[in-house]
Amino acid sequence: MSSTDAITNIAATNANDPEAAGTRIEICRTRIKQSQPALNALISIDAPTSERAANGALAGVPIVHKDLFCTRGQTTTAGSKMLANFTAPYDATVVSRLEAAGAVTLGKANMDEFAMGSSNETSYFGAVANPWDQSRVPGGSSGGSAAAVAAGLAPAATGTDTGGSIRQPAALCGVTGIKPTYGRVSRFGMIAFASSLDQAGCFARSAADCAPLLQTMAGTDANDSTVADEPVADYAGSLNGDIAGLTIGLPRQYFAAGVETETATALNAAIRELEALGAHVVDVDMPYTDLALSTYYIIAPAEASSNLARYDGVRYGHRCADPADLTDLYERSRAEGFGPEVQRRILTGTYVLSAGYYDAYYRKAQRTRRLIADDFSRAFESVDLLATPATPGPAFELGSQIDDPTTMYANDVFTLPASLAGVPAMSVPAGFSGHLPVGLQMIAPWFAEARLLNAGHAYQQATDWHTRQPPGFEWSQ
Ligand code: GLN
């Protein structure tokens, strides 16, 4: 990359200096264009418009949006052939709020098709390469967003997390990513995958940079009645970097098995660091943890099969050529428009919801979901936060798991429980396994995002993992 100017800190934005902000926007546009052949992090790049002079909290902050968020007048593809030519008639609430605060949208980030995946390889628009090693995946489904922040293409990106799609790519790309409490952020204009799990969140270099982003995104919305009424805390104002006296639980089940050795070594050092900052670290039991994988992979496909029924070739989206009749129109439009992973989810979902299997699968999964949520309620009676691995290991090779769905699904083992319970969770860079970043997941009680961000901030005041830059994509701090 040619540019080495300071571009990545949101805090570095100088709202009083529109010239500096304009320069940064141009630098990011150039880096996006230069990186596309190697990384493929974006699906579409916005044409430069005359940037509005704004005075908001995010004045002049360049941002890319996961292509699951509707952007008015721009294509919004969900990473799918089905919506490859879809132009959204309105902005998602997340997009309009960030722009109203002064953020400047530079483009739409690549993603797994309809947010289904853990490697960004299910995208109709091609895989994204991990900036740390271009033979490896960036994680998914918000892989383009995470890669964009890691490679210094933008200081901020939006993402969505249904079962880990912010935290897992944040971990594999060495950036900070937060999934807030279910219902904290509006889903209006965010294309639905599994509605009881879908949640918008964000990526940035640091927890301190995530705070103003989340602050802007969160809160009630007349267009989404499912947003929680709970007042939005002052996330940025709560960043005092003090975690002395906080009790942090390590769920035994997350550390028991299946974590790659170097990842475990990095995470142990991270936990010692939290202790050095004054946190009390204790073991906790979350006995239903190992049910999360099977529970999620019943509930999420069930909801997806229902949500994706709307893509029928009639109203919008891909339509097959010369249908013989209505049934042929439905069948071929859907067979042509959806890729293999999406079709697999629809088939699984309709199966577990069918009359003969509903009780055996879907109803049972709803019950185990409750047990998993109860694990969190019980744990949070005695601890303020949980710390866990974000992923079992670092970024894997492109192509190595895409033909083996159950192996791919196992990547989500540590992120799914918090999704099923609806609690907020974040991944922060916490060292390396070889040349590849490792993520520490921290999980907080419902609506305790301020505590979560402050813990991340405290850790990042004491460590510099979040400032590390992938070779070939450096910039000055
Ligand atoms: N990897 C998970 C899945 O494929 C999670 C995806 C997500 O959070 N959107 O369902």
Closest CA to 318 of 335, 340, 343: 335
In a domain, 164, yes or no: yes
The reply to whether ligand 1 has any atom less than 6 angstroms from the CB of 147 is no
Q: Is 348 a member of any domain?
A: no
Token pair listed for 395: 């970024």
Range of the domain at 37: 6-288+369-467
* Best mutation site among 114, 120, 141, 348 for ligand 1 pocket (most ligand atoms within 8 Å of CB): 141
Please indicate, yes or no, if residue 196 is contained in any of the structural domains: yes
Per-position pLDDT tens, the chain of length 477:
434 344 566 665 555 677 888 889 999 999 999 999 999 999 999 988 766 657 899 999 999 999 999 999 999 999 999 999 999 999 999 999 999 999 999 999 999 999 999 999 999 999 999 999 999 999 999 999 999 999 999 999 999 999 999 999 999 999 999 999 999 999 999 999 999 999 999 999 999 999 999 999 999 999 999 999 999 999 999 999 999 999 999 999 999 878 999 999 999 999 999 999 999 999 999 999 999 999 999 999 999 999 999 999 999 999 999 999 999 999 999 999 999 999 999 999 999 999 999 999 999 999 999 999 999 999 999 999 999 999 999 999 999 999 999 999 999 999 999 999 999 999 999 999 999 999 999 999 999 999 999 999 999 999 999 999 999 999 875
Q: Which pLDDT value is given to residue 113?
A: 99
pLDDT of residue 475: 85
Residue 256 lies in a domain: yes
Q: Coil, helix or strand for 373? A: helix
CB of 163 within 6 A of ligand 1: the answer is yes
What residues are paired with 331 via a beta bridge?
none
- Say whether 108 is catalytic: no
How far is residue 90 from each of residues 12, 75, 86, 100, measured CA to CA in Å? Answer: 31, 11, 12, 14
Say if 335 falls within a structural domain. no
CA of residue 215 to ligand 1 center, whole Å: 24
Structure tokens at 117: 């995946």
Yes or no: say if 453 and 211 are a contact pair by the CB < 8 Å rule.
yes
Does 200 fall in a domain?
yes
pLDDT at residue 476, rounded to an integer:
74
Residue 103 corresponds to which tokens in the numbers above? Answer: 């953020």
The reported pLDDT for the residue numbered 365 is 98
Tell me if 252 is assigned to some domain: yes
Amino acid of residue 388: T
Which CATH number is 183's domain given? 3.90.1300.10
CA distances from 454 to 98, 164, 244 (A): 22, 21, 11
Is 303 contained in some domain? no
Please give the distance, rounded to the nearest whole angstrom, from the Cα atom of residue 82 to the centre of ligand 1. 19
Range 320-353 burial, b when 16+ CB lie within 10 A, else e = beeeeeeeebbebbbeebbbebbeebbebbbbbb
Test site for ligand 1: of 161, 391, 407, 412, most ligand atoms within 8 A of the Cβ: 412
Q: Is 194 in the pocket of ligand 1 (CB under 6 A)?
A: no
- The structural domain count of the chain equals 1
Tell how far the Cα of 68 is from the centroid of ligand 1, in angstroms. Answer: 13
141 is catalytic: yes
Complete edge-to-edge strand list for the sheet that includes strand 436-443:
42-45, 104-109, 62-66, 156-161, 199-204, 176-179, 425-433, 436-443, 385-389, 247-251, 280-284
Q: Say what the pLDDT of residue 7 is.
A: 52
Relative to the CA of 140, which ligand 1 atom is closest?
1
Q: pLDDT per residue over 414-452, tens digit each?
A: 999 999 999 999 999 999 999 999 999 999 999 999 999
What pLDDT, on a 0 to 100 scale, did the predictor assign at position 91?
98
Is 445 near ligand 1, meaning CB less than 6 Å away?
Answer: no
pLDDT at 47: 82
Q: Is 198 in the pocket of ligand 1 (CB under 6 A)?
A: no
